[in-house]
């Protein structure tokens, strides 16, 4: 019987960080192969630009919870 998503997530949480990252990479590869190549290219370009902005100090990242709280605040 196949594992449920919750079971898979529990197993993944128990893995070391580098193994979890490898799983994320592999899942993303599966998803990307099913996406429109133009959309994949646009997402990759945006990710590189944002990475470069953080590395250069042009922008300062904030924790995810703080960012989501801001988004919720704006949407209300």
> Given the structure tokens 């449920």, which residue do they identify?
4
Structural domain of residue 44, as residue ranges?
5-75
Give the model's pLDDT for residue 56.
97
The Cα angle at residue 39 between residues 38 and 42, in degrees rounded to 5: 85
Number of domains in the chain: 1
Q: 42-46, long-range: CB within 8 Å, 24+ apart, which pairs?
A: none
Give the model's pLDDT for residue 58.
97
Tokens of 69: 């709280």
Cα(13)–Cα(23) distance, integer angstroms: 11
**32-58 confidence digits (pLDDT tens):** 888 899 998 999 999 999 999 999 999
């Amino acid at each position: 019987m196949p594992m449920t998503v919750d079971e898979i997530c529990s197993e993944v949480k128990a893995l070391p960080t580098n193994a979890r990252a490898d799983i994320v990479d592999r899942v993303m590869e599966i998803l990307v192969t099913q996406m429109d190549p133009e959309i994949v290219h646009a997402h990759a370009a945006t990710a590189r630009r944002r990475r470069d902005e953080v590395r250069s100090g042009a922008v300062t990242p904030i924790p995810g919870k703080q960012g989501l709280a801001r988004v919720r605040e704006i949407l209300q």
